[in-house]
Chain A
Amino acid sequence: MDAVLAVRARGITKCFGDVVALDGVDLDVTRGQIHGLVGPNGAGKTTLLGLMLGLAVADGGALEILGVPVGRALSAVDGVAGFVDGPGLYPSMTARRNLAALASLRGRDARTAGIEEVLCEVGLRDVADDRVRGFSLGMRQRLGLAAALLTRPRLLVLDEPSNGLDPSGTRHVHRVLNRLAADGTSVVLSSHRMDDVEALCSEVTILATGRVVFSGPLTELAAGNSDLDYRLRTSDPEAARRLAAMTDGVRVVADGGTRYGDEVLVVRASVPALDRLVSGVVRSDIAVRELAPVVSPLEAAFLALTEQQERQDQREEHEHRAQRERQEAGR
């Protein structure tokens, strides 16, 4: 199937002095999809988003945004909007004035720029005439999103857009991003909230210490993962426990009851083994009231992959140090 890439990065490197922020990063973001960028602090997510927004220039590699090769000079591509390190808003102005000023900065008439529509879309219409100074972090995030929407972007780059959002705000933001993706806009967002990434993104890239440790569909990440812990609530916990103990590939986690109460059984299993357990439970006429992973597949994969990368980095560093010591000893 042919698809147009909104972002195509090959071998991107970026250093700040001695610190390697990005180390040979490859990334493909398909048009009309929401792409999640996850990774521990200092993994290089914000740096990568900054490159897409034209805030910095890569030291090496090739980057194409909306089909336009990004050169060595600081420049952004038309049709790209978003924010990194929080939205840029001016606290002395009202929400509406912030958006109006931005609209006129882009040469548009504030009356016809669609300010009311975007405020409505992010759920801030009621506070449109309040000064941003009094806004919560979540409200600022939503206003930042509204500001980005004013430009009718084809690539929206958002750094931690879910920070500080309450459930209602989260729903607004999710609705907006899904609507944009449905209209063909590509969205790249970074987040530490795995539930957000799972709910929104069709594809995900995991970064660790400036390197890509996984990039692809979320389903692939979940399938590729091994045993996970699942929370199983049934009508007969004791019978379910016995069945679990007898099912191949399923292990009962000892402290599950302590954490979730006696009615809940925590088992560790692969997806096929879990399927066998559920079939057995149902055949035994036991009602399944809840079945959910204790840690989401993405979070589990994220932890496993990043820890693996960190271990590898530590191993490499250790080897380097040992080699240096051997060389010094040989002199």
Chain B
Amino acid sequence: MTAPPTADHAAPARPVPVPRGYRFELVKLVSQWRIRLLVLACWIVPAVFVVGVSAQSTLPSDTLFGRWMHATGWAGPLVVLGFAGTWALPLLTSVVAGDVFAAEDRLGTWRHLLVVVRSARRIFVAKTLASLTVILLLVAGLACSSTVGGLLAVGDQPLVGLDGHLLAPSDAAVRVLLAWVAVLAPTLALAGIGLLGSVTLGRSPMGLLLPAVVALAMQLAQMLPLPLVVRLALPGYAFIAWNGLFTSPEQVGPLLIGVAVSLAWAVTATVLAHVLFLRRDFTDAGYDGSGRRAVAAGLLPLVGLVAVSAAVIAPATGVSGSGIEQDKVQRSLATAFAHLYRMQTEQLHRPHVTEAQLRATAACDKGSDKVAVQGPGNDWRCVVSWHLPGVEATGTAVYQLDVTSDGRFVADGDGPKEVNGYFLVRTPTGDAPNPLWQFDGNVELLPTSKG
């Protein structure tokens, strides 16, 4: 016969503290070869890329700041940032955050982990923090490596901003740093989506791919002629909104909105992942996620967030349409031209002239008469006019503009040859790239500040 049991000093087990769980998750992540390779790649490849490209005669002029890679080391990290926002960061977040929960499904270790940690909530927090740490390490690697590569290969020279004005090296350094910090927000949003996919879809490969798929969809949306308010309400906008840091004055409105929207996505997706994780039945060892639950509890709230964001942004900014209007394009082009004309003047050792003296203006038209003079397109044609002190005649130069829906434009000089019609200028020390031949610019989309 057995007697009633006695407590025997037993008690409900206390959950493992989050810092210990965090360290455990970090150890698990870092023990994976693919994570180690990614860390190594992010800390080495950008430097090699920037050094290699800077040594070539052909520059990636289709990438923002690519055409300045010979001129300053600060262009390198910005070129890498543009590439990272498009490809690297979505893929990195996919591999790390998109797999952090699914890996336990794949290995069949959930039950073991729950027995050891004794708190699903703490497991979630530890896993989230560990994956974010690795993602931050990867982003830091991309930023530091590309900066070091640029500075070693080219040097610490001034950077030409998106409105043509020169940024001193120290100023450029601060803005490069801010740009990389700004893209942390959309990266966190993708990480949140990765966590949500990883929790919701279990071992399904879609969980792993979700951040990359979402990022691709966002990029497509940014390329489409959608109303600006919709594009601002998507978290991917912050991947391009850092452009505004390189104008004078800075176009911080879109950047702040992009960062706020991205952070809202990051928080919402992470909270949804948390709720779904706590509701999960861990006794089902063959869990493969549920498509219906992914749509109902994952997708729909995020679609709702886009609608709410758009509803808040529209009245707050007063923006309508694409945000690309004739007077804004003219103003941006004239400003950039004036700054770059001054640069060309210095290259050619001509008498010093200021932007104010130039009084540059632009007159732009778009397509035929049947097309409204607004919105993105490669059919913008502009004539820039300027004045030189003591010269009565007005100088004019023609540009073809390709304006994309994010406000970025490439101005392609159409003559006269002495001003903007040829890619080289003859300086007293030899031929040099003509800053007025082709240049990048940025149209401020929000009606908040004057360029």
Interchain CB contact (< 8 A) of B114 among A55, A65, A78, A104? A55
Interface segment among A82-90, A160-168, A299-307: the answer is: A82-90
Q: Is B432 an interface residue (CB 8 A)?
A: no
Q: Is B271 an interface residue (CB 8 A)?
A: no
Q: Is B7 an interface residue (CB 8 A)?
A: yes
Digitize B23-39: 1 where CB-to-A-CB distance is under 8 Å, 0 elsewhere: 11001100111000000
26 pairs from A and B in contact (CB 8 Å cutoff): A2-B2, A3-B2, A30-B2, A53-B115, A54-B115, A54-B118, A55-B111, A55-B114, A65-B10, A68-B7, A68-B10, A74-B114, A75-B12, A77-B11, A77-B12, A78-B11, A81-B115, A85-B285, A87-B112, A88-B108, A88-B109, A89-B109, A92-B31, A93-B31, A105-B24, A106-B116
Q: Is the CB of A97 within 8 A of B116?
A: no
> What is the minimal beta-carbon distance from A157 to any residue of chain B, in angstroms?
9
Q: Is the CB of A54 within 8 A of B13?
A: yes
Interchain CB contact (< 8 A) of B107 among A50, A55, A81, A90? A90
- Assuming A55-B282, A88-B112, A106-B116, is B12 touching A4 (CB within 8 A)? no
- Assuming A55-B114, A85-B108, is B283 touching A67 (CB within 8 A)? no
Closest to A90 in B: B28
> What is the minimal beta-carbon distance from B64 to any residue of chain A, in angstroms?
38
> What is the minimal beta-carbon distance from B299 to any residue of chain A, in angstroms?
25
Q: Is B233 an interface residue (CB 8 A)?
A: no
- Complex-state Cα separation, A148 to B5, whole angstroms: 23
Q: Is A101 an interface residue (CB 8 A)?
A: yes
Q: Is the CB of B118 within 8 A of A104?
A: no
Digitize B105-131: 1 where CB-to-A-CB distance is under 8 Å, 0 elsewhere: 001111111111110100000000000
Interface segment among B14-22, B174-182, B252-260, B300-308: the answer is: B14-22
> What is the minimal beta-carbon distance from A299 to any residue of chain B, in angstroms?
27
- Chain B interface (Cβ < 8 Å from any Cβ of A): 1-8, 10-14, 16-17, 20-21, 23-24, 27-28, 31-33, 107-118, 120, 282-283, 285
Closest to B17 in A: A107
- Complex-state Cα separation, A77 to B9, whole angstroms: 11
Report chain B residues within 8 Å CB of A64: 5
- Complex-state Cα separation, A89 to B24, whole angstroms: 13
Summarize A's interface: helix, strand, loop or mixed.
loop
Closest to B118 in A: A76
- Complex-state Cα separation, A92 to B29, whole angstroms: 9
- Assuming A5-B2, A50-B283, is B20 touching A107 (CB within 8 A)? yes
Beyond contacts A54-B13, A88-B108: 13 other A-B pairs, Cβ-Cβ < 8 A, are: A5-B3, A50-B283, A53-B115, A55-B114, A75-B118, A76-B13, A77-B10, A78-B11, A90-B107, A102-B24, A102-B116, A104-B24, A105-B20
- Complex-state Cα separation, A56 to B23, whole angstroms: 26
Q: Is the CB of A67 within 8 A of B3?
A: no
- Complex-state Cα separation, A50 to B112, whole angstroms: 11
Closest to A86 in B: B108
Q: Is the CB of B285 within 8 A of A93?
A: no
Q: Is the CB of B8 within 8 A of A4?
A: yes
Interchain CB contact (< 8 A) of B120 among A74, A79, A83, A101? A74
- Chain A interface (Cβ < 8 Å from any Cβ of B): 1-6, 8, 16, 28, 30-31, 47, 50, 53-56, 64-68, 71, 74-93, 97, 101-102, 104-107, 154
Q: Is the CB of B112 within 8 A of A67?
A: no
Closest to B103 in A: A90
Q: Is the CB of A80 within 8 A of B13?
A: yes
Most chain B C-beta atoms within 10 Å of own C-beta, residue among A28, A89, A92, A93: A92
- Complex-state Cα separation, A254 to B1, whole angstroms: 44
- Assuming A47-B283, A56-B283, A105-B20, is B28 touching A84 (CB within 8 A)? no
- Complex-state Cα separation, A81 to B114, whole angstroms: 11
- Complex-state Cα separation, A85 to B7, whole angstroms: 29
- Complex-state Cα separation, A48 to B283, whole angstroms: 11
Interchain CB contact (< 8 A) of A92 among B33, B118, B283? B33
Closest to B13 in A: A78
- Complex-state Cα separation, A54 to B24, whole angstroms: 21
- Assuming A28-B2, A82-B115, is B16 touching A105 (CB within 8 A)? yes
- Complex-state Cα separation, A303 to B61, whole angstroms: 78
Closest to A2 in B: B3
> What is the minimal beta-carbon distance from B332 to any residue of chain A, in angstroms?
52
- Complex-state Cα separation, A35 to B196, whole angstroms: 41
- Assuming A53-B111, A75-B118, is B31 touching A90 (CB within 8 A)? yes
Q: Is the CB of B13 within 8 A of A92?
A: no
Report chain A residues within 8 Å CB of B24: 101-102, 104-105
Q: Nearest 5 pairs between A and B by C-beta?
A: A88-B112, A66-B10, A88-B109, A67-B7, A5-B5
Closest to B26 in A: A101
- Complex-state Cα separation, A226 to B7, whole angstroms: 40
Report chain B residues within 8 Å CB of A50: 111, 283
Report chain A residues within 8 Å CB of B10: 65-68, 77-79, 154
- Complex-state Cα separation, A67 to B8, whole angstroms: 7
Q: Is the CB of A68 within 8 A of B11?
A: yes
- Complex-state Cα separation, A87 to B13, whole angstroms: 20
Q: Is the CB of B8 within 8 A of A66?
A: yes
> What is the minimal beta-carbon distance from B297 to any residue of chain A, in angstroms?
19
- Complex-state Cα separation, A247 to B120, whole angstroms: 65
Report chain A residues within 8 Å CB of B111: 50, 53, 55, 83-85, 88
- Complex-state Cα separation, A154 to B8, whole angstroms: 10
- Complex-state Cα separation, A91 to B33, whole angstroms: 11
- Complex-state Cα separation, A81 to B24, whole angstroms: 18
- Complex-state Cα separation, A214 to B21, whole angstroms: 41
> What is the minimal beta-carbon distance from B288 to any residue of chain A, in angstroms?
16
Report chain A residues within 8 Å CB of B120: 74
Closest to B7 in A: A67
- Assuming A66-B10, A101-B28, is B2 touching A88 (CB within 8 A)? no
Most chain B C-beta atoms within 10 Å of own C-beta, residue among A76, A82, A106: A76
